[in-house]
């Protein structure tokens, strides 16, 4: 397994991810020239995101109850703070020989953690029962929306996850995210417009070009 302003903030507290700041579908009328038809044909255009939907993955309520469906259970331990997510409640764990990162805890003395499977958009999560307590030290507490995000969905539909460990460098930008196919995302997102972007590159010889971000998870 390879590792490596004025925007709406969406806290994901259920299995349904809420998108904010997306433009609705637009309707246009195509007028047929005289002599061909006396009617106008309505058509719909593809909805396009007007701004990036920002999510904070929250698998627990304020009372510590699960808010996401658990589709799998396991038993293991967590041994350090997450490398994929920089949150203080995110951990790097294992279930036998399977590495799980990120996993999230409700409190620092939790006896279990929740690990989203195949990204935050799958609606699937593993609850890992811990054989021992969480590590005494993990990631330092940081403000919300601190880089890097751990998951990105592009406007084109590509879903990309943060890479931990060794990664390629292009034009002084690290390949931070791996997407399906040959697309990689480099550096961190640009937030100067409501629709955030990040540099993408297809293949080993492609140019870095801005890719619009439909949704992002911290």
Q: What is the pLDDT of residues 55-71, one digit of tens each?
A: 999 999 999 999 999 99
Q: What pLDDT is attached to residue 37? A: 39
The pLDDT tens digits of the residues spanning 130-186 come to 999 999 999 999 998 988 999 999 999 999 999 998 999 999 999 999 999 999 999
Q: Which of 17-21, 82-86, 198-202, 211-215 has the lowest mean pLDDT?
A: 17-21
As a whole number of angstroms, the distance between CA 207 and CA 199 comes to 9
Q: Is 81 exposed, middle or buried (0-12, 13-18, 19+ CB in 10 A)?
A: buried
What average pLDDT does range 107-117 have in this prediction?
A: 95
| Bond before 148 cis per omega within 30 degrees | yes
Domain ranges of the chain: 151-217
10-25 pLDDT per residue, tens: 444 433 333 333 333 3
Residue 150's pLDDT is what? Answer: 97
Provide the token pair at 50.
Answer: 């007007």
- Taking residue 44's Cβ as centre, other Cβ atoms within 10 Å add up to 9
pLDDT for position 60:
96
Long-range pairs for 136-144: beta carbons < 8 A, 24 or more residues apart:
137/81, 138/80, 138/81, 138/82, 138/88, 138/90, 138/91, 139/81, 139/82, 139/85, 139/86, 139/87, 139/88, 139/90, 140/88, 141/88, 142/86, 142/87, 142/88, 144/9, 144/56, 144/218
Dig out the tokens for 26 from the structure. Answer: 């637009």
Distance in angstroms (rounded) separating the CA atoms of residues 101 and 81: 9
């Amino acid at each position: 397994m390879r590792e490596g302003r004025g925007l709406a903030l969406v806290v994901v507290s259920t299995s349904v991810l809420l998108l904010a700041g997306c433009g609705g579908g637009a309707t246009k009328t195509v007028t047929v020239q005289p002599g061909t038809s006396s009617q106008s044909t309505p058509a719909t255009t593809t909805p396009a995101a007007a701004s990036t939907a920002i999510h904070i993955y929250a698998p627990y309520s304020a009372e510590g109850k699960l808010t996401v469906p658990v589709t799998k259970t396991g038993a293991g331990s967590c041994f350090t703070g997450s490398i994929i997510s920089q949150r203080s409640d995110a951990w790097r764990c294992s279930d036998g020989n399977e590495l799980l990162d990120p996993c999230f805890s409700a409190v620092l003395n939790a006896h279990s953690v929740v690990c989203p499977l195949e990204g935050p958009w799958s609606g699937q999560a593993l609850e890992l029962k811990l054989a021992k307590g969480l590590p005494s030290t993990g990631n330092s507490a940081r403000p919300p929306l601190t880089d890097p995000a751990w998951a990105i969905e592009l406007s084109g539909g590509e879903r990309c996850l943060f890479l931990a460990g060794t990664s390629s460098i292009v034009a002084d930008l690290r390949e931070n995210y791996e997407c399906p196919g040959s697309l990689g995302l480099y550096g961190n997102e640009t937030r100067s417009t409501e629709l955030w972007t990040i540099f993408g590159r297809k293949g080993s010889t492609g140019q870095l070009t801005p890719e619009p971000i439909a949704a992002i998870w911290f």
